[in-house]
């Protein structure tokens, strides 16, 4: 695809003076019609500012370095450097932009990989526009965004890794295996909520006025109680069981 189709300008498209109150967004997709249409839709929101576009992963890396946006909407299926490879590069670079994967794929393995590579949200392209807009605001606020279908699909994948085949899980049902072995304490529930919102151990320690080692101890106990193996699975479990708000 030629550079003329990238629509990655050296300056933000259709922008005036940047506003700190706005959520600064980059849209990465290799289909110009979809990309342009999405940018126009997002620009209708008063608190959104589309600062640039990209047609492949290499342009994404350049754009993020140049504009340092708050949110990247990233397609997984792009020529050259695809979405997952781009996420790997961003993880290595410790880029602070929060990523929402916007995809037409229903490959749950890709969902899992994207989440493990630091994605803050996954939105299917057939999702209603108002939900995409909501996901951007939620992710910008530090939350993880997965719709009911995506959450169920990812949890099924985790279960499939260590459980015998079972009947498909409906979108709003909980995993069938017995995870919670004993009730969580209030402090543990607070930590679960913070993990699901994307906080790291050090950030949780500062927020809760405890040591980082105490956070690690709590996480060890939580993993044992819930039967989860890592932070991603804990976050998905929390979201699926409405523990991510801390209420």
104 plus 16 within the same structural domain: yes
Per-range mean pLDDT, top range of 38-42, 126-130, 243-247: 38-42
pLDDT at 166 (0 to 100): 28
C-alpha to C-alpha distance for 129 and 59, rounded to whole angstroms: 25
Instruction: Provide the residue range defining the domain that includes 138.
Output: 3-146
pLDDT at 156 (0 to 100): 61
Q: What CATH number is given to the structural domain containing 137?
A: 3.40.50.2300
Q: Does the pLDDT value for residue 160 go beyond 70?
A: no
Tokens matching residue 204 = 């949780």
Cβ-contact 129, 122 below 8 angstroms: no
pLDDT tens-place string over residues 46-61? 999 999 999 999 999 9
In a domain, 57, yes or no: yes
Tokens matching residue 45 = 């929101």
In a domain, 32, yes or no: yes
Average the pLDDT over 4-15 and give the result.
40
Structural domain count of the chain: 2
Q: Which residue has the higher pLDDT, 12 or 65?
A: 65
C-alpha to C-alpha distance for 171 and 48, rounded to whole angstroms: 30
In a domain, 161, yes or no: no
């Amino acid at each position: 695809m030629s550079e003329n189709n990238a629509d990655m300008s050296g300056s933000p498209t259709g922008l005036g003076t940047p506003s700190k109150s706005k959520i600064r967004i980059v849209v990465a997709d290799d289909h110009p019609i979809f990309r342009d249409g999405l940018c126009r839709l997002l620009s209708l929101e008063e608190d959104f500012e589309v600062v640039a576009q990209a047609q492949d992963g290499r342009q994404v890396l350049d754009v993020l370095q140049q504009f340092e946006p708050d949110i990247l909407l990233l397609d997984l299926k792009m020529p050259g450097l695809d979405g997952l490879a781009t996420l790997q590069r961003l993880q290595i670079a410790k880029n602070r932009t929060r990523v929402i994967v916007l995809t037409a794929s229903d490959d749950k393995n890709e969902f899992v990989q994207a989440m493990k590579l630091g994605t803050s949200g996954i939105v299917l392209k057939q999702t209603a526009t108002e939900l995409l807009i909501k996901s951007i605001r939620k992710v910008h606020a530090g939350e993880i965004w997965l719709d009911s279908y995506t959450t169920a699909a990812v949890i099924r994948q985790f279960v499939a890794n260590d459980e015998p085949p079972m009947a498909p899980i409906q979108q709003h049902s909980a995993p069938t295996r017995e995870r919670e072995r004993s009730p969580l304490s209030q402090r543990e529930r607070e930590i679960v909520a913070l993990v699901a919102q994307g906080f790291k151990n050090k950030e949780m320690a500062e927020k809760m006025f405890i040591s980082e080692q105490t956070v690690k101890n709590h996480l060890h106990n939580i993993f044992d109680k819930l039967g989860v193996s890592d932070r991603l699975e804990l976050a998905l479990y929390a979201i699926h069981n409405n523990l991510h708000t801390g209420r």
